[in-house]
Structure 1
Amino acid sequence: MITEDTARELALALPGAIEQDHHGFPSFRVNGRIFATLPQPDRLRAMLDEPEIRTAASEHPEACTEYYWGKRLACVEIDLAGTDAELVRDLLAQAWEHQAHR
């Protein structure tokens, strides 16, 4: 289990990462692009590409689920109570990489 504060620290430890409000909850951005959000204290959403989302959800079903925005697979949602810092750090790094070089 990790806390919202730990998730925030991990996100902000990535190069160039900043925190900004996104419709009333924290978002983490690099080069103006969102790579993760904290919509609830126990949920983190990491903006991966579709294959990475599916891989995370299948390899870590206890912590990760596919999250759809309408009919579009948008991100992986991570249950912070069901995971550890290593997995969150890895998924945040993937999301950061995906957005940093777009």
Structure 2
Amino acid sequence: MNRARAIALGLPEATEADHHGIASFRVRGKIFATVPDDRHLRIMLDENGIRSVTAEFPSVCHEYYWGEKLACVVVAIEAASTGLLRELLEDAYRRKAPVSLARQINIAEHEH
């Protein structure tokens, strides 16, 4: 969990806050991931992203529905590579962050 927390909180202006008794990672108040337990992350991707990552990594990721809506991807933290965690958290962050903040990730990637 420490690995995932470090990645999430390393994103520009990302914070951790309670969400109905579980931890959530947010950018300017918008949730991009939640922590239902110490072994899993729920990462808020779009439907195509969820379907793609669950097809590519079926032993690590699975779909999560909220009612009838495909809400997020659940990731088994220990089974996921650091690169996969970073990619998914950054994708979810970009969906919720203002464009000016999301651009900072792209700039940082090109500096490495």
**TM value normalised by structure 2:** 0.85
Q: Once the two structures are superposed, what CA deviation does each residue of 1:40-96 show, in whole Å capped at 9, x if it has no partner? A: 000001101110111110111111101001110000000112111110000000000
Q: Which has the higher contact order (CA 8 A, sep 6+)?
A: 1
| Corresponding position of 1:40 | 37
Structure 1 residues 85 and 35, CA gap change in structure 2 (3 angstroms): same
Query: How many matched pairs?
Result: 99
Q: For residue 64 of structure 1, what is the amino acid of its counterpart? A: C
| Corresponding position of 2:84 | 87
Q: For residue 24 of structure 1, what is the amino acid of its counterpart? A: G
**TM value normalised by structure 1:** 0.93
Name the Cα RMSD after superposition: 1.1
Distance between the aligned counterparts of 1:68 and 1:46, measured in 2?
Answer: 12
SS class of match (1:15): coil
SS class of match (1:48): coil
Q: Verify: 1:31 aligned to 2:21, yes or no.
A: no
Q: For residue 42 of structure 1, what is the amino acid of its counterpart? A: R
Q: Verify: 1:16 aligned to 2:13, yes or no.
A: yes
| Bigger CA radius of gyration | 2
Segments of 5+ residues of structure 1 without an aligned counterpart are none
